[in-house]
Amino acid sequence: MKKRIILILSLTVLTAAGSFFYWKQVTPQALALREVNKASVVRQNFQVITKGYGIIEPKTRIDVTPPLAGRMESVNVEEGQIVQKGDVLGWISSTERAVLMASAAVSSKDKGWSEIYKPIPILAPISGTVIANAVKSGQTFHAQQALFALSDRLILRAQVDEIDIVAIRVKQRVEFNLDAMPEQKFSGVISRVSYDVTKIGNLTKYTVEIEPDSVTASMRTGMTAMVSFETQLKENVLVVPRAAVFSDGGEWYVEKWQHEKDKVSPVRQRIVLGERSEQKLVVKEGLLEGDLITLKSGSATL
């Protein structure tokens, strides 16, 4: 029994001594180093992303107009309905027929006018989707007033700055997010890059047409989108997390951990930045591969 007690006491003393020795060796700097979120400067390939704003629009929009003024007798379609070329969108009467039919209805004597003067069909000029129905049954209209609007396919038209347009090409893959559905990511391919310039204030822009891989039922004409173009690949460059960089007096800095004698401490290091993405930045000067830097939650917006 005494031997067991002595053994337990001996183990307790050894454990306490080991703990004391361990904490004696752990310096405040080492503890701070462990508590701070850090990252290493790495060398890797970096995909340059160009941003642009766009709007969902019909690739081809056709306004369906009547050949003459008159009255809409019946409407056969609804907005959002898919139609084929030649389908009857509705029936109309000329102004003369509408007056004649109204007179016959009042006198209760048709006299066969409805068979002699038949209503005129309005046909779909293309296959596509009905995106607008401007006139209801019984409503009058004037000549060349748009009764329906058809779209063959919804596409995304984006505006790209003149500096970035040289890196944009047909068949290039893109990703985009609709402002109405920010959590959902869409993809597509560039089908056309405009040669004609668009002036927006003092800015020079070019229109880029993008064919979405899929057009969902939630997409609507006029929706705005943020588009990401993968324009350039930088090979074998130094990359740091965006959260490690902060600004002071117009210059960019990181906190780099360096060894001084027997301690490790953070020092402010000025850097020169290159290309940027949402999460990573290219560093041109100021750091070496493998340098340890602090991740800061309140980094400046770049």
Regarding predicted confidence, which is higher, 151 or 19?
151
Is residue 37's pLDDT more than 80? yes
CA atoms 130, 132, 134, 138: torsion sign: positive
132-174 pLDDT tens trace: 899 899 899 998 899 999 998 899 999 988 878 888 999 999 9
223-250 pLDDT tens trace: 999 999 887 788 999 999 989 999 888 8
Is residue 19's pLDDT more than 70? no
Neighbour count for residue 121 (Cβ, 10 Å): 14
Are residues 54 and 199 part of one domain?
Answer: yes
Domain end point (choices 233, 251, 286): 233
Question: 301 in a domain, yes or no?
Answer: no
Are residues 135 and 73 part of one domain?
Answer: yes
* Contacts (Cβ under 8 Å, ≥6 apart) of 234: 45, 46, 47, 48, 274, 275, 282
What are 177's strand-pairing partners? 185, 226
Are residues 42 and 76 part of one domain?
Answer: no
82-116 pLDDT tens trace: 999 999 999 988 887 777 776 666 665 555 656 66
Distances (CA, A) of 203 to 145, 159, 221, 226, 229: 36, 11, 25, 18, 19
pLDDT reported for residue 259: 81
Q: What are phi and psi of 96, to 5 degrees?
A: -65, -45
CATH of the domain at 33: 2.40.420.20
Question: 75 in a domain, yes or no?
Answer: yes
What's the whole-model pTM score? 0.59
Write out the residue range of the structural domain in which residue 192 sits. Answer: 50-58+153-233
Are residues 206 and 159 part of one domain?
Answer: yes
DSSP state of 301: P
Domain end point (choices 111, 128, 151): 151
d(CA 102, CA 58): 39
> Average of pLDDT values for 25-37?
54
176: helix, strand or coil: strand
pLDDT reported for residue 13: 47
CB 104 within 8 A of CB 113: yes
